[in-house]
Amino acid sequence: MKTYIKLFALSSLLTLGACSQDFLENEPYTDKVTENFYKTPSDAFEGLVAIYDVLQREAYGGPLLISEQASDDCFGGYGIADAQTDIEWDRFSYVSDKDMNKDVWSNAYLGIYRANILLENLGKVNWGSDTALKTRYEAEARFLRAHFHFTAAKMFGDIIPLDHTVTTSEFELPRQAPEVTYALIASDLKFAADNLGPENYSEAGNANYGRITKWAAEAYLARTFLFYTGTYGKADLAGVVSKAEATAYINDAVNNSGHGLVADFANLWLAASFENFVGEDNTEMVWAVRFNGSGKGNWDLHEGNRFQVNIAPRGGSIGKYATGWGGATVNPKLVDSYEAGDTRKAASFIDYAGENLNFDPQAREQRQYTGYSWKKYCPITNAAGTAVVEANGGNFQIDNYQDYAIIRFSDVLLMAAELNLQSNPALAQADYDRVRDRAFKNTTHRKTVSLENIMKERQLELALEGLRYFDLIRQGMTVAKAAIDNNTGDSQFNVTFRTETQGWFPLPQSQIILSNGTITQNPGWN
């Protein structure tokens, strides 16, 4: 059986129309198949774009939204009549017939599949004398394959690592031990870090903004190292990357990438700064998923950021904030943890009372109202009070356009502080100070660097960016439970983290059924 490639017009860089999620198609959509398609560098580029395209599906919510609801930073939220799925994430309950996490699993493996297709066909392309371009495409594809593997592994624990497209005899492969998966991830990221050039795409209007760089690969390698070694109690990254190597990579990203911190934290976020917004192609964005509003209400396209509507104020626009579904209401405990003078507090959260916004949770049917919601990523209105996306002819549900930041330079600095903490405490202090100084716009709020202070700073700096839950998990079940458990006296906010799950999310029930017993459910979710 041939594997067919479904091709659409290339509407913008890194935005190819979505392919079918079936691994194997029975009938061709065009006469282009893998056996005759990969001939020119242009063909290879289309294959690369198809891998990048899967990233846009993560903005449906996926790991970002699920992990924030499961963390100590947010509750489930949404409307009182909405499905209970988001309450279940918040409360660590599970209903198998909802096939929870199906999209997370299928999107990850769709990305892995597309990456493997390209990697297996690079040798068929006539590259002429431009072998450097072949190496670049291989490095980008391997980075993305690592990203999709890590997305699944940090959610589900043991997964099925794939360094090739599967045959029919491999449809029921078992999950592998984490060291097998992370050895593949580490090898892919190391190849990307060692083979990509020193370009920095965070300049205004750069056509390559959104593409993988050496600096993104180095930072991602450090992130994976910290998660794997912390979660599994290992000294190195699956025998592939040592701590000294991971530290050298992250220090290189700090010192030589050309990335830096935007002077004002608020200016990173459109809803926090408006006219002072620095734009998404700014020096702090080491890697982000790029979106635009060109879909104009076409549900068959995946150009827009479909995540933003989930966290916007429920029940209609209010002030400068456009309407949405009111998901993942913010825990007041997080808001209260910011010190006086920390500019990140007002820039990260909508404070309805503090901003004199008359938000009536009953009239708006808001579930788990806390008085706070996301300012980061919140869509905005224009001067007439109309959602900007609608004023531009788009649909407020699917055509929001803010990029999703996966790695910011402040995260790079904090990872560098953590990795240098024992071997070079002075350097760790300097990296940590840069983040604190920017937050307070002075040097008088510095603290002595320590692992505890770094982890707290990560919570404050990177709040609502999909990292908090995994930072807790890598510190162990005792730390995670102490942070996540919540009992305010109001039962709607009661949360009990179940350590028997080991922090892993439940596998989608459909995959367990399809595996014919090869895959079993994660502990604590039966």
Contact criterion met (CB below 8 Å) for 380 and 222: no
Helix (H) or strand (E) holding 404, with range, is strand 404-408
pLDDT tens digits, one per residue of 475-520: 999 999 999 999 988 999 999 999 999 999 999 999 999 999 899 9
Residue 21 has pLDDT above 70, yes or no: no
Residue 5 has pLDDT above 60, yes or no: no
- How far is CA 193 from each of CA 134, 221, 404, rounded to the nearest angstrom? 15, 8, 22
As a whole number of angstroms, the distance between CA 69 and CA 307 comes to 14
The full DSSP string for 29-84 is SSS-BHHHH--SHHHHHHHHHHHHHHHGGGGGSHHHHHHHHHSSSB--BSBTTS-T
pLDDT tens digits, one per residue of 184-193: 999 999 999 9
Q: Is 411 left (phi over 0), alpha (psi -120 to 50) or beta?
A: alpha
pLDDT tens digits, one per residue of 237-287: 999 999 999 999 999 999 999 999 999 999 999 999 988 999 988 999 999
Whether this prediction's pTM lies above 0.95 is answered by no
The full DSSP string for 165-229 is PPPGGGTTPPP--HHHHHHHHHHHHHHHHHHS-S----STT-TTTTS--HHHHHHHHHHHHHHHH
Nearest-5° Cα angle at 223, 89 to 155: 25
**What proportion of the chain, given as a percentage, has pLDDT over 90?**
79
As a whole number of angstroms, the distance between CA 478 and CA 228 comes to 17
As a whole number of angstroms, the distance between CA 205 and CA 218 comes to 24
Pairing assessment for the beta strands 10-12 and 15-16 based on DSSP bridges: antiparallel
Q: What pLDDT does 169 receive?
A: 83
- Sign of the dihedral through C-alpha 325, 328, 333, 338: negative
Q: Which amino acid is at 252?
A: D
Q: Averaged over 85-98, what is the pLDDT? A: 74
Contact criterion met (CB below 8 Å) for 67 and 469: yes
3-state secondary structure of 278: coil
Confidence of residue 23 (pLDDT cuts 50, 70, 90): very low
Q: What are phi and psi of 407, to 5 degrees?
A: -135, 115
Residue 28 has pLDDT above 60, yes or no: no
Q: Averaged over 132-157, what is the pLDDT? A: 98
Identify the CA nearest to 319 among candidates 385, 396, 387, 397.
385
Pairing assessment for the beta strands 372-374 and 349-351 based on DSSP bridges: antiparallel
Contact criterion met (CB below 8 Å) for 5 and 24: no
Q: What pLDDT does 97 receive?
A: 66
Contact criterion met (CB below 8 Å) for 269 and 321: no
Q: What pLDDT does 94 receive?
A: 72
As a whole number of angstroms, the distance between CA 18 and CA 8 comes to 8
Contact criterion met (CB below 8 Å) for 2 and 89: no
Q: Averaged over 70-88, what is the pLDDT? A: 86
As a whole number of angstroms, the distance between CA 221 and CA 95 comes to 35
Length of the chain: 526
Torsion of CA 197, 203, 207, 208, to 10 degrees: 30
As a whole number of angstroms, the distance between CA 24 and CA 26 comes to 7
Residue 522 has pLDDT above 90, yes or no: yes
3-state secondary structure of 233: coil
How far is C-alpha 387 from the geometric centre of its chain's CA atoms? Answer: 25
- Sign of the dihedral through C-alpha 512, 517, 522, 525: positive
Q: What pLDDT does 7 receive?
A: 31
Q: Average pLDDT over the chain, rounded to whole?
A: 90
pLDDT tens digits, one per residue of 400-425: 999 999 999 999 999 999 999 999 99
As a whole number of angstroms, the distance between CA 218 and CA 250 comes to 6
Q: Which amino acid is at 163?
A: D
Beta bridge partners of residue 372, listed in sequence order: 351
Helix (H) or strand (E) holding 86, with range, is helix 85-91
Identify the CA nearest to 16 among candidates 42, 54, 43, 44.
54
Q: Averaged over 77-85, what is the pLDDT? A: 83
Q: What pLDDT does 33 receive?
A: 63
Residue 30 has pLDDT above 80, yes or no: no
Residues near 253 by Cβ (< 8 Å), separated by ≥ 6?
Answer: 215, 218, 219, 222, 259, 286, 412, 416
Identify the CA nearest to 461 among candidates 252, 276, 284, 313.
284
**What proportion of the chain, given as a percentage, has pLDDT over 70?**
92
Q: Which amino acid is at 30?
A: T
Identify the CA nearest to 209 among candidates 287, 295, 292, 303.
287
Q: Is 160 left (phi over 0), alpha (psi -120 to 50) or beta?
A: beta
Q: What are phi and psi of 274, to 5 degrees?
A: 55, -105
R_g of the chain computed on alpha carbons: 22
